[in-house]
Amino acid sequence: MIANRKLSFAAVEQLKADFGTPLYVYDEAQLRHAAQKTLAFPNAFGLTVRFAMKACPNAAILKVFDAMGLHFDASSGYEVRRLVKAGISPEKISLSTQELPEDFGELLGWGIQLNACSLSQLERFGQAFPGRRVGLRLNPGLGSGGTQRTNVGGPGSSFGIWYESMEGIDALIEKYDLVIERIHSHIGSGSDPEVWQRASGLTLELVKRFPTVETVNLGGGFKVGRVPSEQTTDLQVVGEPMKAQFTAFAAETGRKLALEIEPGTYLTALAGTLVSSIQDVVSTTGVEGNIFYKLDSGMTEILRPSMYGAQHPFMVLGASETSSLQRVLVVGHCCESGDILTPAPGQPEVLAPIELPVAAIGDFCLIGGAGAYCAGMPAKNYNSFPESPEVLWREDGRFCLIRKRQSLDQILENEVSISV
């Protein structure tokens, strides 16, 4: 479904007049609703909810979640600095990164937490900070995800230290007198409670090797159903068995572990709508012919369909709405055959027409579920299209610009001229 509050035709017309299309609209009420649900995640001995900021890194959204008591997960040193520039206290930031930045010592000096995600990262930390406390990201040997591209656990994933590498970890702990205070694992995207329970159990077994661990971070990946065929994770159903595991662990070991989770998609996906205009309608003939709605947006705003075969809901709004439906392919504005917004589920190369109202050039096409991994993960400036503006739909009904449309001069400002 499109976000809980539906944008009216009049509102969309005014948004286009004020900001142009394409643009992202985020529903503040939905953001807050999702945050409250994550803060109620079942836990035995304390909970920290960290927003995986890569999902939607706009400073205005970070501030909304900060005010609600959420903490933050950064995936690069640049994200750490972006959070701090947004006014987030470094003590609320945890860094788990594929590329440990050269300046990680400076970031740690600010007060952030670090999870070493490989043996080489742990070695670098130990060399710089012997005797210090640090977290470990482990790969427990289990992964989950709709495709391999959303699976960040198991033998096909490079994320985290492989669970069979304990001797290497032990050697580095002894070499640098390190104290492991936190274990982090993240298996990918899914909604199956049994998978989460298995991942939690595997992680807790690994924790037994580290008597100084006080916190277990089980990552995020709580799936959101953007379309009716997809299932949204029930946090209570997933969380209660995990809570029981933490309670049993305490009874067995005497250790009461705090829990951290790192939702990204769950917090923002359904709050976002990409408002686009239909800039052309074309068709091909023959047995395999199609009708195409060409939008003024595409992989430069929403890469997920081209990358994952991800599914999003569509809504057509026009000056003269009709109930007549037709099967159409929705495509983007890039000169790229892969700029398809209606692929088959999990198969980005396969075209999958959908039923939408008969529309004309100038009508609007709203793409729902666009609050996560859209504005933060575009094919930026492909075909020299500028980054689109972002608008926050406040709880009181106002629309506030939270990111301006990029100009051509901004696209070009880092190019260096040469003489030819």
Would you say residue 328 lies in a domain? yes
Would you say residue 21 lies in a domain? no
35 φ, ψ (degrees, to nearest 5)? -65, -40
Residue at a domain's end among 268, 295, 317: 268
* One-letter amino acid of 412: L
> pLDDT tens-digit profile of 100-144?
999 999 999 999 999 999 999 999 999 999 999 999 999 887 644
Clarify whether residues 262 and 283 are in a common domain.
no
**With bands split at pLDDT 50, 70 and 90, how would you rate the model's confidence at 285?**
confident
Residue 399, pLDDT > 60, answer yes
Tell me the residue range of the domain where 390 lies: 270-406
Instruction: Say how many domains are in the chain.
Output: 2
User: Which residue stretches of 93-165 are H helix?
Assistant: 104-110, 119-128
Average pLDDT along the chain: 92
pLDDT of the residue at 157: 66
Cβ atoms of 212 and 173 closer than 8 Å: no
Residue 150, pLDDT > 60, answer no
CATH of the domain at 175: 3.20.20.10
**With bands split at pLDDT 50, 70 and 90, how would you rate the model's confidence at 148?**
very low
* One-letter amino acid of 183: I
CB neighbourhood size of 396 (10 A): 7
pLDDT of the residue at 94: 98
Clarify whether residues 264 and 274 are in a common domain.
no
Spatial distance between the Cα atoms of 244 and 267, rounded to a whole number of angstroms: 24
